[in-house]
Structure 1
Amino acid sequence: MRLNSSIKEVKGIGDKTAGLFLKINIETIRDLISYFPRTYVQFPEIKRPDEVVEGETAAVIGQIRQTPIVKRVRSMQITVTSIVGMGKRLELVWFRLPYIKNSLHPGENYVFYGKVQHKNGRFVMEQPAIYTPEKYEAMEHLLLPVYTLPKGLSNQLMLKAERSVLEEEHLFRDYLPTELREKHQLCEYNYAIKQIHFPDDMETLIEARKRLVFDELFLFILNLQYQKEKKEKEKNQFSFQSDDFVEQLIEKLPYKLTNAQLRALSEVRADMRSDYVMQRLIQGDVGSGKTIIAFLAMADTAHNGCQSAIMAPTEVLARQHYESFQSMCEIFGLDFPVILITGSMTAKQKKLAYQEILDHPDALIIGTHALIQEKVIYQNLALVITDEQHRFGVKQRETFSEKGTKPHILVMSATPIPRTLAIILYGDLDISVVDEVPAKRLPIKNCVVDTRYRPKAYQFIEKEVAAGHQAYVICPLVEESENMEAENVTDYAKRLKEELPDTIEIGLLHGQMKPA
């Protein structure tokens, strides 16, 4: 089995299952091996049915007294049996697995591993894994890998596929010389790959992770160094006036810019008037005022008869910039056209936007990834801004910059990056840091509380909404997942509707929704 072979060569993976793997970008054997676990679960000590509690993931031993029953509910086959310990019964349920009936023999002891739930007055374990006591004891205290998987792809199938592939003795040729591995106390690469998926213990897991982290950073920095050596400073082909246009705009602002904003803006303007094309990163916390710097830089570009474009990671943010920039142009009395392009726009709307870009060489253009599509033809594009750079790859940035005659590049990020790390991550960019917060801005308060605090939080939300304010709740998942125990948007919205008065409107917003 070769690393570039299709995963369909793995036993048990057909076209349908391969389609599920494709959702997490796994197409080849190499992709499969390189998809690492997100966490690990340690097999717990065996308990009796009377020792388990609701909500825990447990290993329960018990004797099967009678042959399991297979029921048919609608079109689904459900296999049911139970085990008893000290008078406490634990019901075991499997959906769509009728063959389980033949795997469990009356009079035999088995270990059942799964999550214990309390339903209709009974303790229930659904879809538990089944082991003989001897097999479970051999696995007890081992670290079981858990993967982030799409709906329809079980962790059990992932484990089986990984095991099947990792049976090969040497999959990779280790590119690191032995002396270098010994110097940095790094394990061999094939050993690291096997241990990251199926660690013998915590010590070997840490050893494997250390090697893989080293590789990731080493290859990243090596590639960055290669890009830096390959890249030469490009000549600035745009001629910008040195006048007081931007200073006049700043005087019209209803607030004062901070020294950090003025410093960053000054560096951007100096770059655009230098002999070489600008390549700059502006890093500042949310609320530090990066957007006004972007607008003033774009207005400066338009004042000099050139186009500028800003690409946001989401349509929501793109529309926010569009409305904000239109408003500022009106306030400042600027006659520069502001054009929006997003993926959800109709073909007719996009066609009109493309024509506007052709007709106005001094336009301020705002959008999402739609800005780098082939159909967009720019006129004298001199400045390209990518907002929240961590959501864009270097390739997208380069594709965008190629839309103009080597335009100036400005990257804005709110990710708090220490300066030394920023130099590594953005080695090809000069860096400006906006490290001051505008005056009179209220501080953001954060606190961590457990679930017992939720009733108070609901009361607080009710009080704020009554005062005419809004509140939002962020969940890590869109819908329930069998691979992760966390709140999801769909179910939590229903719970909020039950907890809060009917007068409060509960909205739902997530990335899987279709654009309006």
Structure 2
Amino acid sequence: MRLNSSIKEVKGIGDKTAGLFLKINIETIRDLISYFPRTYVQFPEIKHPDEVVEGETAAVIGQIRQTPVVKRVRSMQITVTSITGMGKRLELVWFRLPYIKNSLHPGGTYVFYGKVQHKNGRFVMEQPAIYTPEKYEAMEHLLLPVYTLPKGLSNQLMLKAERSVLEEEHLFRDYLPTELREKHQLCEYNYAIKQIHFPDDMETLIEARKRLVFDELFLFILNLQYQKEKKEKEKNQFSFQSDDFVEQLIEKLPYKLTNAQLRALSEVRADMRSDYVMQRLIQGDVGSGKTIIAFLAMADTAHNGCQSAIMAPTEVLARQHYESFQSMCEIFGLDFPVILITGSMTAKQKKLAYQEILDHPDALIIGTHALIQEKVIYQNLALVITDEQHRFGVKQREIFSEKGTKPHILVMSATPIPRTLAIILYGDLDISVVDEVPAKRLPIKKLCGGHQIPSESVPVYRKRGGCRSSGVCDLSVGGRKREHGGRECHRLCEAFERGTAGYD
């Protein structure tokens, strides 16, 4: 039996059953043994009827005293019998299984496995599985795999098919060399496959899972790396000067950039002057100073006669960037136009913004998803920045990047992503990590006040003169709650004495 053979080569699987397996994408022997259990059931120790507790799944041993009775309720046949122990009676019920009567003989001792319920003053076990004491003892404490299956395909049939295939001694050739397996304490692949389906105990199950998890991540990352190397790098069509313009701006800053900020900025500037288009992710916590890196990169782009655009996930953040960038242009004495485009702007305001973009090839453009609308026509767009990557889909990112002639792509995220995970999530991007917080930056404090922020909490924030505070009021629900949220937002602004209310 080969791995690529049809599943119909397994004994007991015909065309009809193969059609059921196809519903879970199992067509070949390889598909079958690669379809892992979703959980495992461990058979408990055998109990007597007087030991059972309501709600538990138990294995109860008892002797059948009388031949089971088959009752007919409407069109349903119900088979009923019972076992007793120490004066306690357990009723056993099977629905639509009249043949059970012929399987249970008076005087015979059996083990019944199922869930115990308490109905109408008596203990009942419905649809219990039936075992001989010898057979159950052989299964006791074993981990029985349970699979996610479509209607018509039983777990018992799945077990039978898996066992039939796994009887082969060596199904796979292990691609990992022995020294690498020993280094990472990984078991052999064929052993892992057999133990994941039919583990000897919990320890071997954990060992098998460790190997299969390693393989899944290793092959995924290997494929990402392969795709990244196979993908032809796009030529950089922009020519940026290698001068000290950005260094001069940094000297004018009222604070000193951290080493992490300088490192990330240096990597961005080097990418924009390389032979190929930049594809970079900057990851840093809130307050680590990613925005100044974005501004300096956009200013560098404008200095070289090209447009740049940054797309924020919300209008509040877009307006915050707009006001911040305008202020920094004034501080640095830069004559670059800063243009804002958001969805809430009127048609007239948008039309004026579109014209400004056409008139200024060195503009710094800020906005939300409105930046990727068809009506926006850019002039020499060289740098595209998306703030908070997780709020944008891949398609949106592609549309934005296609607005220019192969512009440089910079993605910023405050989501804490371990480097290994970042490589997996953003396999097509180079990664810069801003892992230092600027000096004298106060820690971020969060306050949750439900639907109404208590007035007594406001002085806590007002005491910290010169600090920025923000409140979020829920306006997502229509009607009176929205009106209440609006009033609460304006009340906060008045409490902070200087503030603006924004809706998003």
- CA shift, 1:25, in A, is 3.8
1:256-288 superposed Cα distances (whole Å, 9 cap, x missing partner): 999989997896687456542222234457999
- CA shift, 1:41, in A, is 2.9
CA distance in structure 1 between the partners assigned to 2:459 and 2:75 by the alignment: 26
1:407-442 superposed Cα distances (whole Å, 9 cap, x missing partner): 545566676433355457756532234668999999
CA distance in structure 1 between the partners assigned to 2:459 and 2:109 by the alignment: 40
Counterpart in 2 of 1:408?
408
C-alpha spacing 1:464/1:304, structure 2 compared with 1 (3 Å): closer
1:321-344 superposed Cα distances (whole Å, 9 cap, x missing partner): 999999999999999999999999
- CA shift, 1:45, in A, is 0.8
- CA shift, 1:196, in A, is 1.6
CA distance in structure 2 between the partners assigned to 1:260 and 1:303 by the alignment: 24
- CA shift, 1:161, in A, is 2.7
State the TM-score, normalized to the length of structure 1.
0.56
Cα-Cα RMSD: 10.0
- CA shift, 1:131, in A, is 1.3
Unaligned stretches of 5+ in structure 1? 445-462, 471-483, 496-506
CA distance in structure 2 between the partners assigned to 1:113 and 1:84 by the alignment: 15
CA distance in structure 2 between the partners assigned to 1:291 and 1:249 by the alignment: 15
C-alpha spacing 1:441/1:108, structure 2 compared with 1 (3 Å): farther
> What SS does the corresponding residue of 1:212 show, helix, strand or coil?
helix
C-alpha spacing 1:400/1:158, structure 2 compared with 1 (3 Å): farther
Judge conservation of contact 2:93–2:124 (CA < 8 Å) in 1: yes
Please, which moves more after superposition, 430-439 or 146-155?
A: 430-439
C-alpha spacing 1:511/1:67, structure 2 compared with 1 (3 Å): farther
C-alpha spacing 1:99/1:428, structure 2 compared with 1 (3 Å): same
- CA shift, 1:194, in A, is 0.9
Judge conservation of contact 1:257–1:438 (CA < 8 Å) in 2: yes
Judge conservation of contact 2:281–2:429 (CA < 8 Å) in 1: yes
Judge conservation of contact 1:82–1:91 (CA < 8 Å) in 2: yes
C-alpha spacing 1:198/1:468, structure 2 compared with 1 (3 Å): closer
> What SS does the corresponding residue of 1:464 show, helix, strand or coil?
coil
- CA shift, 1:43, in A, is 1.8
Correspondence list, 1:230-379, <5 A? 230=230, 233-237=233-237, 271=271, 275-283=275-283
C-alpha spacing 1:487/1:364, structure 2 compared with 1 (3 Å): same
Please, which moves more after superposition, 157-166 or 230-239?
A: 230-239
1:337-363 superposed Cα distances (whole Å, 9 cap, x missing partner): 999999999999999999999999999
CA distance in structure 2 between the partners assigned to 1:514 and 1:371 by the alignment: 20
CA distance in structure 1 between the partners assigned to 2:14 and 2:500 by the alignment: 27
- CA shift, 1:140, in A, is 1.2
- CA shift, 1:138, in A, is 0.8
- CA shift, 1:62, in A, is 1.7
CA distance in structure 2 between the partners assigned to 1:345 and 1:151 by the alignment: 53
Correspondence list, 1:376-387, <5 A? none
Please, which moves more after superposition, 300-309 or 116-125?
A: 300-309
C-alpha spacing 1:433/1:486, structure 2 compared with 1 (3 Å): farther
| Residue 493 (str. 1) matches residue 462 (str. 2) | yes
Judge conservation of contact 1:61–1:111 (CA < 8 Å) in 2: yes
- CA shift, 1:379, in A, is 12
Judge conservation of contact 1:302–1:364 (CA < 8 Å) in 2: yes
Judge conservation of contact 2:52–2:116 (CA < 8 Å) in 1: yes
C-alpha spacing 1:226/1:120, structure 2 compared with 1 (3 Å): same
C-alpha spacing 1:267/1:11, structure 2 compared with 1 (3 Å): same
Please, which moves more after superposition, 194-203 or 280-289?
A: 280-289
C-alpha spacing 1:262/1:87, structure 2 compared with 1 (3 Å): farther
- CA shift, 1:494, in A, is 46
CA distance in structure 2 between the partners assigned to 1:128 and 1:493 by the alignment: 67
CA distance in structure 1 between the partners assigned to 2:113 and 2:457 by the alignment: 25
C-alpha spacing 1:513/1:292, structure 2 compared with 1 (3 Å): closer
- CA shift, 1:199, in A, is 1.5
- CA shift, 1:48, in A, is 1.2
- CA shift, 1:171, in A, is 1.9
Judge conservation of contact 1:78–1:98 (CA < 8 Å) in 2: yes
CA distance in structure 2 between the partners assigned to 1:490 and 1:20 by the alignment: 66
> What SS does the corresponding residue of 1:396 show, helix, strand or coil?
helix
Please, which moves more after superposition, 434-443 or 65-74?
A: 434-443
Unaligned stretches of 5+ in structure 2? 465-494
CA distance in structure 1 between the partners assigned to 2:221 and 2:187 by the alignment: 20
> What SS does the corresponding residue of 2:446 show, helix, strand or coil?
helix
1:8-34 superposed Cα distances (whole Å, 9 cap, x missing partner): 444555666556545544333212211
C-alpha spacing 1:181/1:258, structure 2 compared with 1 (3 Å): closer
- CA shift, 1:133, in A, is 0.6
C-alpha spacing 1:239/1:207, structure 2 compared with 1 (3 Å): same
CA distance in structure 2 between the partners assigned to 1:349 and 1:22 by the alignment: 56
Judge conservation of contact 1:311–1:386 (CA < 8 Å) in 2: yes
Judge conservation of contact 1:344–1:515 (CA < 8 Å) in 2: no
C-alpha spacing 1:432/1:185, structure 2 compared with 1 (3 Å): closer
Counterpart in 2 of 1:22?
22
C-alpha spacing 1:188/1:320, structure 2 compared with 1 (3 Å): farther
Q: Percent of aligned positions with the same letter in both sequences?
A: 95
1:437-473 superposed Cα distances (whole Å, 9 cap, x missing partner): 99999999xxxxxxxxxxxxxxxxxx99999739xxx
C-alpha spacing 1:96/1:351, structure 2 compared with 1 (3 Å): farther
Please, which moves more after superposition, 21-30 or 432-441?
A: 432-441
Judge conservation of contact 2:83–2:91 (CA < 8 Å) in 1: yes
CA distance in structure 2 between the partners assigned to 1:383 and 1:184 by the alignment: 43
Counterpart in 2 of 1:116?
116
- CA shift, 1:99, in A, is 3.4
C-alpha spacing 1:398/1:466, structure 2 compared with 1 (3 Å): closer
Counterpart in 2 of 1:39?
39
- CA shift, 1:179, in A, is 6.0
Please, which moves more after superposition, 378-387 or 143-152?
A: 378-387
CA distance in structure 2 between the partners assigned to 1:485 and 1:287 by the alignment: 26
- CA shift, 1:4, in A, is 2.3
Judge conservation of contact 1:284–1:414 (CA < 8 Å) in 2: yes
- CA shift, 1:132, in A, is 0.9
CA distance in structure 1 between the partners assigned to 2:144 and 2:117 by the alignment: 22
Judge conservation of contact 1:91–1:125 (CA < 8 Å) in 2: yes
Please, which moves more after superposition, 134-143 or 266-275?
A: 266-275
- CA shift, 1:393, in A, is 12
C-alpha spacing 1:134/1:402, structure 2 compared with 1 (3 Å): farther
- CA shift, 1:135, in A, is 0.6
1:131-174 superposed Cα distances (whole Å, 9 cap, x missing partner): 11101111111122233455665443432332232123332223
> What SS does the corresponding residue of 2:327 show, helix, strand or coil?
helix
Judge conservation of contact 2:20–2:153 (CA < 8 Å) in 1: yes
Please, which moves more after superposition, 208-217 or 399-408?
A: 399-408
Please, which moves more after superposition, 37-46 or 113-122?
A: 113-122
- CA shift, 1:371, in A, is 15
- CA shift, 1:206, in A, is 3.8
CA distance in structure 2 between the partners assigned to 1:229 and 1:247 by the alignment: 33
Please, which moves more after superposition, 360-369 or 226-235?
A: 360-369
C-alpha spacing 1:494/1:417, structure 2 compared with 1 (3 Å): closer
The total of aligned residue pairs comes to 474
CA distance in structure 1 between the partners assigned to 2:409 and 2:80 by the alignment: 63
C-alpha spacing 1:33/1:101, structure 2 compared with 1 (3 Å): same
C-alpha spacing 1:194/1:402, structure 2 compared with 1 (3 Å): farther
CA distance in structure 1 between the partners assigned to 2:271 and 2:430 by the alignment: 10
C-alpha spacing 1:284/1:47, structure 2 compared with 1 (3 Å): farther
Please, which moves more after superposition, 14-23 or 34-43?
A: 14-23
C-alpha spacing 1:20/1:376, structure 2 compared with 1 (3 Å): farther
Judge conservation of contact 2:117–2:125 (CA < 8 Å) in 1: yes
